[in-house]
């Protein structure tokens, strides 16, 4: 049996491939070798799920990527509202947390006086002004200008004139 030109199928290549096929289809079955964007199925007759970011698997219909804020095989689940940007497509675990949160799903609050903490442990990365140490529980000295001190040591970044 001779090969058909692109877009044709049938014993004599007299039939058109389904319009949702991207270029070629099987000469006998008419099944698409590849679908146009946003379609899946043997003849690309089905739409990809709405929350896919682009294409889906031609056979299963599962999304290759999700739109921001969704996860799951068909991106049918919502990421935690505490995730920053996006979450893992399979597990839903947050990749980053919004400021003030930590944990796998960013469901825990950072320590009080902590502006930003480490995602896994909750150890403070950035304290609010006037506080220092890993939990931001220590107070900078009143002799520190603008009440600012090194976050780890508590040493003043700059002192008021005449103070040390």
Residue where a domain stops, chosen among 30, 47, 64: 47
> CA–CA separation, 79 vs 77, rounded Å?
7
pLDDT at 1 over 60: no
Is residue 112 packed enough to be buried (19+ CB in 10 Å), middle (13-18) or exposed (0-12)?
Answer: exposed
Average pLDDT over residues 64-68: 94
Q: Give 164's pLDDT tier (boundaries 50, 70, 90).
A: low
Domain tally, the chain: 2
Which residue matches tokens 């043997």? Answer: 42
Domain presence at residue 86: no
Is 38 inside a domain boundary? yes
Report the distance separating Cα 75 and Cα 156, nearest Å. Answer: 49
Mean pLDDT of 78-100: 94
Residue 135 confidence (pLDDT) = 83
More confident residue, 3 or 140: 140
Q: Say what the pLDDT of residue 16 is.
A: 93
Share of the chain above pLDDT 90, in %: 73
Residue 9 forms part of a structural domain: yes
Domain that holds residue 155: 110-164
Q: Say whether pTM exceeds 0.85.
A: no
Average pLDDT over the chain, rounded to an integer = 92
What is the distance between the alpha carbons of residues 8 and 144, in angstroms, rounded to a whole number?
Answer: 79
CA distance 51 to 36: 17
Q: What is the mean pLDDT of residues 33-55?
A: 94
């Amino acid at each position: 049996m001779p090969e058909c030109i692109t877009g044709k199928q049938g014993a004599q290549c007299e039939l058109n491939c389904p319009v949702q096929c991207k270029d070629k289809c099987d000469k006998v079955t008419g099944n698409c070798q590849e679908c146009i964007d946003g379609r899946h199925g043997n003849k690309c007759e089905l739409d990809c799920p709405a929350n896919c970011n682009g294409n889906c698997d031609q056979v299963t219909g599962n999304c290759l990527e999700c739109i921001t804020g969704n996860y799951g095989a068909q991106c049918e689940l919502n990421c935690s509202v505490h995730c920053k940007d996006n979450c893992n497509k399979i597990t839903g675990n947050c990749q980053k947390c919004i400021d003030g949160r930590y944990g796998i799903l960013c469901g825990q609050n950072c320590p009080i006086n902590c502006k930003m903490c480490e995602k896994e442990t909750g150890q403070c990365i950035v304290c609010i002004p006037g506080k220092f140490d890993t939990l931001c529980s220590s107070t900078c000295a009143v002799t520190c200008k603008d009440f600012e001190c090194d976050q780890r040591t508590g040493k003043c970044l700059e002192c008021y004139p005449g103070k040390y």
